[in-house]
């Protein structure tokens, strides 16, 4: 059995440190971005450009009373927020940020990502159920149906990329894009993956599980303090993960002109998609729950299957 080298441990520590801090910084980016898009002031008092709002929020969450309702199922109630953070962090294990900067180059990296994103559904289901609250349970049921449904379209949309690259390894998928980024031949797969990613992270316009005008705060209504903070961090790490996956699968990962290092190209592309997530929140209305499910099964499923069939046919024809 191989022992972990110092360099390997440095990569693990670096990924953990950066991802947890990116999630915190995204709070500030989103608030400033929403203010810009909606023509109003964002955070502008605490520190330069309101940057210290991140520290203020973090300190507030750490020192807030960690209250567990007496009617809740205590062990499950405590476990649920941890699941979302662990599953998202585990997904970052297989993402290649640059040549040599990856925690584990698994030959089934794409399947590992899909498995971890599926596990994330448990945090919503268990959190809502353990709260023993009708609003929380309704939010959990919505979240379960939404996440499980859109995982189907997410998985199928990625199969076109697998056919073109001939591999489930994310490093090999990036290398296969040296001639042409996959978002051009797989534009349909990219759009479906992006929509499914929004639904998986339950961000606006698909924040149905926590629709505040209907369900107070949905599945995390009974959570406070750092347990609520873990759901919050999990959501922001989730959109970072989806942005990283879009860049890796469809936009050439770290590939770019030589005047910038590969890691910088990866960061710039990821930041672009993070800003798209913020823009969507600022501009899109929330659909009804039945519309969301109908859109998935009646529109996205046929499109993913058609994309898969056409891609398979073209690959077969080109290999003859």
pLDDT tens per residue across span 94-103: 999 988 888 8
Map tokens 């969450």 to a residue.
61
- The single-letter DSSP state of residue 251 is S
Cβ pair 279, 29 in contact under 8 A: no
Looking at every residue in the chain, the average pLDDT score rounds to 85
Asked if residue 293 has pLDDT above 80, the reply is yes
Q: Is residue 95 part of a domain?
A: yes
Q: Is residue 53 part of a domain?
A: no
Q: Is residue 27 part of a domain?
A: no
189: pLDDT confidence band, cut at 50, 70 and 90?
Answer: very high
Q: Is residue 257 part of a domain?
A: yes
Alpha-carbon gap, residue 273 to 292, rounded angstroms = 22
Percentage above 90 pLDDT, the chain: 25
Q: Is residue 36 part of a domain?
A: no
Tens digit of each residue's pLDDT (9 = 90 or more) over 202-220: 777 777 666 665 666 677 7
Domain extent, residue 86, equals 69-319
**Helix, strand, coil distribution of the chain in percent, nearest 5:** 70, 0, 30
- Structural tokens at position 165: 């690259």
Q: Is residue 11 part of a domain?
A: no
- pLDDT, residue 174, reads 92
Cβ pair 81, 230 in contact under 8 A: yes
- The single-letter DSSP state of residue 50 is G
Domain count, the chain: 1
Q: Is residue 311 part of a domain?
A: yes
Alpha-carbon gap, residue 280 to 144, rounded angstroms = 22
- The answer, as to whether pTM is greater than 0.85, is yes
Q: What is the mean pLDDT of residues 132-155?
A: 85
Asked if residue 31 has pLDDT above 90, the reply is no
Q: Is residue 77 part of a domain?
A: yes
> What DSSP letter does each residue of 191-250 carry, written as one string?
HHHHHHHHHHTT-TTS-GGG-HHHHTTGGGTT--HHHHHHHHHHHHHHHHHHHHHHHHHH
Partners of 98 in beta bridges? 101
45: pLDDT confidence band, cut at 50, 70 and 90?
Answer: confident
């Amino acid at each position: 059995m191989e022992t972990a080298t110092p360099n390997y441990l440095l990569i693990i520590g670096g990924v953990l440190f950066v991802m947890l801090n990116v999630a915190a910084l995204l709070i500030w980016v989103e608030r400033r971005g929403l203010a810009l898009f909606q023509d109003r002031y964002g955070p502008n008092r605490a520190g330069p450009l309101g940057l210290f709002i991140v520290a203020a929020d973090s300190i507030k969450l750490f020192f807030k009373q960690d209250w567990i309702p007496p009617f809740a199922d205590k062990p499950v109630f405590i476990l649920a927020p941890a699941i979302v953070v662990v599953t998202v962090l585990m997904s970052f294990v297989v993402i290649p940020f640059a040549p040599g900067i990856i925690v584990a180059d698994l030959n089934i990296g794409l399947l590992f990502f899909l498995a971890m994103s599926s596990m994330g559904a448990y945090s919503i289901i268990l959190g809502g159920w353990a709260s023993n609250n009708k609003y929380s349970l309704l939010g959990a049921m919505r979240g379960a149906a939404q996440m499980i449904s859109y995982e189907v379209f997410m998985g199928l949309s990625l199969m076109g990329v697998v056919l073109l690259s001939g591999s489930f390894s994310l490093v090999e998928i990036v290398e296969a894009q040296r001639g042409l980024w996959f978002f051009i031949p797989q534009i349909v797969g990219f759009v479906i993956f992006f929509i499914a990613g929004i639904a998986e992270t339950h961000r606006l316009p698909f924040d149905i599980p926590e629709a505040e005008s209907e369900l107070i705060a949905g599945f995390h209504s009974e959570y406070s303090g750092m347990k609520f903070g873990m759901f919050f961090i999990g959501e922001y790490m989730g959109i970072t993960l989806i942005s990283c996956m879009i860049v890796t699968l469809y936009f050439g990962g770290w590939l770019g002109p030589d005047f910038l290092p590969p890691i910088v190209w990866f960061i710039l592309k990821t930041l672009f998609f993070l800003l798209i997530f913020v823009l969507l929140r600022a501009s899109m209305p929330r659909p009804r729950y039945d519309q969301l499910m109908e859109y998935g099964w009646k529109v996205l499923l046929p499109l993913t299957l058609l994309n898969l069939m056409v891609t398979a046919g073209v690959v077969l024809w080109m290999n003859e």
